[in-house]
Amino acid sequence: MDKISTVEQALHTAAPHALLDVVTAALAEQYGAEQVELRMVDYGMRSLQSVNPETRGGGPETRDMEPVPIQGSPQGRAFGSQEPCVTRHARQDAVTVHLPMTIRGDRLGVLSVRLPGEHDARTRIPHLQAVCAALGREILVAQRDTDLYLLARRATRLTLAAEMQWQLLPGHSCSRPEFSLGAHLEPAYAIFGDNFDWSASADHLTLTITNGMGEGIEASLLTNLAVNALRNARRAGLGLCDQASLADQAVYAHYRGASSVSALLLQFDLATGDVAVVDAGSPRMWRQREGAVEAVRFDAQLPLGMFEDTVYVAEHFTARPGDRLLFGSDGVYEALSPSGESYGERALTRALGNTRLLPPTQVPQAVLHQLAGFRPESPLDDDALVVCLDWYGRKERRGPAQGQQPKTDGGGLWRIR
């Protein structure tokens, strides 16, 4: 059994809270590692929080090791670039290798390994990356049984509404050969109504952006009901319009029209780039194509749960390789500057242009950072959600399915009639 298999087998049989101990012992034995440190990215995507192997009680003692900022630290460089970063120590015969821990495009944190001998350390990076990936996969499974890794992500306490929303989210990012996407929410530790969700199969990517009306726990409960109704319909094999209808019925049955959920539902055909869309409320989409940024408008339909038995109709457009799609909640594009200008009018277009060289995993946070600068003296008074998707497509693309005749409106949008 080779070294990687040995570590993987040990991780498989380890207790959920002891995964880092297994990796630390294995790397010490195999390579003489002097120190192994795991840091998880915090909910605000601003710092990397230490998972302390010495303490697992879940109390304040888990903060013995100070967090490091993503900006301006070697761990942060590895996290941001998604490439290993090697730093030397004052003692020239020792280096630390910082390895990004990313599983299926979701950036979890950074594993740092201090090794003797700079030359030997660099030759061992491929093996260390494999060990880091194995640890990351086991952490995703272990989070079902221990709070250790979720606690490590917290730079401060979450509100109850935010706790509910983060447990509902799929992650910060996801990637496949056909696309890459990233998403972020602010205020990260006090969100209540905004949410995003995605699911990728062999043929399709389904993406939903939702915004439950109201504040605090009530908004979070409303959004939880809508998102789980959408998931239930999707997992039952229903089409996009039927997913919206089932969620509409679920929300109306509980709230009788007193509360509703704004939603934007999209289903991407991974082979063709054809996208079905149901616009049921306030989330909006912008498209960056060949350097030009434009807002893409759809026919506005009723939010989920406003009336009983609402019938939803899908529109269609085609995503082209190289397209960047940005989705935002009303807390983004309706935010006002001190002079009364709406962020969505011009500033969002500028923000997309300013971030065109960033990967989609970094765009949402960059846009929200620019939003904070847009209204420097006023904190956000609503949830702000940004999702960025880069579309690569497949090399072989087929046209519309047989029997479907696309009718364009001149702007790239079309509807099946």
| H or E element in which residue 286 lies | strand 284-289
pLDDT of residue 93: 80
**What pLDDT, on a 0 to 100 scale, did the predictor assign at position 413?**
43
pLDDT value, residue 377: 60
User: Using omega within 30 degrees of 0 as the cis cutoff, is the peptide bond preceding 187 cis?
Assistant: yes
pLDDT for residue 123: 87
Q: pLDDT 10s digit of each residue in the chain, 417 long?
A: 488 899 999 999 999 999 999 999 999 999 999 999 999 999 999 999 999 755 434 444 444 478 999 999 999 999 999 999 999 887 668 899 999 999 999 999 999 999 987 667 778 999 999 999 999 999 999 999 999 999 999 999 999 999 999 999 999 999 999 999 999 999 999 988 999 999 999 999 999 999 999 989 999 999 999 999 999 999 999 999 999 999 999 999 999 999 999 999 999 999 999 999 999 998 999 999 998 999 999 999 999 999 999 999 999 999 999 999 999 999 899 888 777 788 877 888 888 999 999 999 999 999 998 888 787 666 666 789 999 999 999 976 444 444 444 333 333 443 322
3-state secondary structure of 196: strand
E runs forming strands in 308-365: 315-318, 324-328
d(CA 327, CA 209): 8
- The pLDDT score that the predictor gives to residue 175 is 95
CA distance readout (Å), 108 to 48, 310, 390:
10, 40, 20
Q: How far is residue 267's CA from residue 280's CA, in Å, rounded to a whole number? A: 14
**Type of residue at 78:** A
Residue 349's pLDDT is 87
Instruction: Say what the pLDDT of residue 378 is.
Output: 63
Element (H, E) at 81: helix 74-81
**Distance from C-alpha of 110 to C-alpha of 71, rounded to nearest angstrom:** 14
Measured distance CA(277)–CA(298) in Å, rounded: 8
pLDDT at position 408: 35
**Are 189 and 159 within 8 A, CB to CB?**
yes
